[in-house]
């Protein structure tokens, strides 16, 4: 029999109603504050390989759309309902220069121009009086990106540094989640979860050293939020920096990294966007990095597992049995189970939640800036290269007798990040060389020696 506990101790009744979600940060349809903010960026909408000879129905930011590739190689993204009588263009026919509606044959160009209205009498100008909803599209490295915002605000396409590395191959993948975008996006700014979810609570999912509590510092800089995670692994100090670039672009280092061997400025293993499909569905659409730049021995990961609803590390898709997922919970279970839209008002955040507090605060500030007629924060770029700072550096720096190791880790982290930012006026190989040179000086720095 249960121990008798006084009735007044229980408070389930008082908490039975879940508070509503934070609409300002989570709702993304046309005209919503967050939706309008998202519409100021180029966002990936689908993997190139998903587009075959048929039009593909998709949902992005609460809008139903159809994406297609014409036989002459152009990509189009149109509102799904035909401008004539609203039949869905997913049942249309892709032609050389556009998409033809199945119902009465209206033909649309990739820019929404009505090219033909074949049922109208000869000489009809009907087609000249209608323009169909369309968005500009760019295909890049196996992903199709769209700009869905006001035409006069269209930004340059972001060519991030990590997408142009000579010794890295980018392999696209895409995973859908039945929940709001923010709770999936926040995961990167919750670095402490790696210790518990991925190492201590049930299973060790990734590197064997991930159960070590890192020293974590969050930084804000140029529209980005960084976390540095620094680990003492025997006589090595491993400094990982990962970042979220607003609104939802993030990069993280190799998930197999254990911080045991010396290395400098090794870049992202995952370059990803969390894209809202609507308020209660989202996707991670991303590249996994392969090649000597990220994996010199060529022994980690499996590119054949990266694709639609699939990636080469476990726990991201929720496809296993319910019982298996209960016994071996992973990222998917932790994120999706927060609810269709997480209720922030029911959370009780602590000091380890600083990253997502920063993220929410920064998002709110940006959303409000756009809402009041401003522009999103400009990204750091040199020429046409957009600079990011995700990296792993592992330095042979043993503990210094008489010095608290926590203090040493903090000083080495600061030195590493100073070196990483020292390349901010450069691009390409010049920047990489400069940063690596600066990083290599750290292990000889007298401050970090016995
Ligand atoms: S509804 Fe599309 S052509 Fe008539
Ligand atoms: Fe995780």
What is the distance in A from the centroid of ligand 2 to the CA of 315?
A: 9
Ligand nearest to the CA of 126: 1
pTM of the entire structure? 0.95
Nearest ligand, measured from the Cα of 335 = 2
What spacing in Å lies between the alpha carbon of 349 and ligand 2's midpoint?
Answer: 18
Give the model's pLDDT for residue 223. 72
Distances (CA, A) of 410 to 19, 92, 221, 436, 439: 39, 59, 19, 20, 15
For ligand 1, atom 3, the nearest C-alpha belongs to 104
Res 22: pLDDT: 98
Nearby residues of 71 by Cβ (< 8 Å), 6 or more positions away: 94, 95, 96
Is the CB of 82 inside a 6 Å radius of any atom of ligand 1? yes
> Cα–Cα distance between 89 and 73 in angstroms, integer?
19
State both tokens at 176.
């859908």
3-state secondary structure of 158: coil
Position 348 scores a pLDDT of 97
Note the ligand closest to the C-alpha atom of 83. Answer: 1
CA of 92 to the centre of ligand 1 (A): 9
Regarding the beta carbon of 130 and ligand 1, being less than 6 Å apart is answered: no
Report the Cα 107 to chain-centroid distance in Å: 35
**447 within ligand 1 shell (Cβ under 6 A):** no
- Determine whether the shortest distance from the Cβ of 101 to ligand 1 is under 6 A: yes
d(CA 68, CA 55): 5
In this structure, the residue with its CA closest to atom 1 of ligand 1 is: 85
User: Residue 89 Cα, ligand 1 centroid: separation in angstroms?
Assistant: 9
Distance CA 345, CA 326 (A): 26
Please give the distance, rounded to the nearest whole angstrom, from the Cα atom of residue 193 to the centre of ligand 2: 6
How far lies 381's CA from each of 6, 157, 295, 449, in Å? 62, 12, 27, 36
Confirm or reject: Cβ of 84 under 6 Å from ligand 1.
Answer: yes
Residues lower than pLDDT 50 in the chain: none
What are phi and psi for residue 359, nearest 5 degrees?
Answer: -60, -50
Ligand showing the shortest atom-to-Cα distance for residue 132: 1
């Amino acid at each position: 029999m249960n121990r008798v506990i006084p009735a007044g101790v229980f408070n389930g009744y008082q908490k039975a109603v879940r508070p509503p979600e934070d609409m300002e940060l989570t709702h993304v349809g046309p005209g919503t504050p967050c939706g309008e903010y998202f519409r100021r960026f180029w966002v990936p909408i689908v993997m190139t390989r998903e587009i075959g000879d048929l039009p593909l129905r998709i949902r992005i930011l609460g809008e139903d759309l159809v994406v297609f590739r014409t036989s002459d190689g152009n990509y189009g993204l149109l509102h799904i309902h035909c401008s004539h009588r609203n039949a869905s263009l997913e049942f249309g026919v892709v032609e050389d220069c556009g998409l033809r509606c199945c119902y009465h044959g209206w033909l649309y160009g990739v820019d929404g121009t009505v090219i033909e209205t074949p049922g109208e009498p000869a000489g009809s100008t009907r087609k000249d009086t209608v323009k169909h909803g369309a968005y500009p599209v760019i295909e890049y490295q196996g992903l199709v990106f769209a700009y869905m915002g006001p035409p006069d605000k269209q930004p340059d396409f972001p060519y991030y540094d990590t997408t142009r590395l000579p010794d890295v191959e980018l392999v696209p993948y895409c995973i859908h989640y039945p929940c709001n975008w923010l709770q999936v996006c926040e995961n990167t700014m919750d670095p402490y979860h790696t210790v518990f979810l991925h190492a201590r609570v049930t299973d060790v999912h990734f590197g064997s050293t991930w159960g070590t509590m890192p020293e974590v510092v969050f930084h804000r800089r140029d529209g980005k939020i960084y976390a540095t995670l620094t680990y003492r692994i025997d006589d090595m100090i491993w400094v990982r920096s990962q970042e979220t670039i607003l609104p939802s672009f993030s990069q993280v280092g190799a998930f197999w990294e254990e911080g045991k061997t010396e290395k400098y400025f090794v870049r992202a293993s995952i370059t990803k966007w969390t894209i809202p499909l609507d308020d209660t569905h989202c996707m991670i659409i991303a590249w996994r990095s392969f090649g000597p730049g990220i994996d010199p021995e060529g022994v980690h990961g499996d590119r054949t597992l990266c694709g639609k609803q699939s990636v080469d590390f476990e726990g991201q898709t929720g496809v296993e049995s319910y019982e298996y997922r209960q016994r071996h919970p992973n990222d998917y279970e932790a994120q999706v189970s927060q609810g269709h839209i997480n209720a922030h008002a029911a959370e009780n955040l602590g000091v380890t939640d600083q990253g997502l507090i920063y993220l929410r605060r920064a998002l709110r500030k940006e959303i409000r800036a756009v809402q009041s007629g401003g522009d999103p924060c400009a990204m750091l770029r040199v020429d046409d290269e957009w600079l990011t700072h995700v990296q792993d550096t592992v330095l042979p720096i043993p503990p210094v007798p008489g010095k608290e190791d926590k203090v040493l880790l903090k000083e080495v982290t600061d030195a590493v990040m100073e070196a990483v930012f020292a390349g901010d006026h450069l691009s390409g190989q010049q920047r990489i060389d400069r940063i690596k040179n600066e990083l290599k000086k750290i292990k000889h720095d007298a401050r970090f020696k016995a």
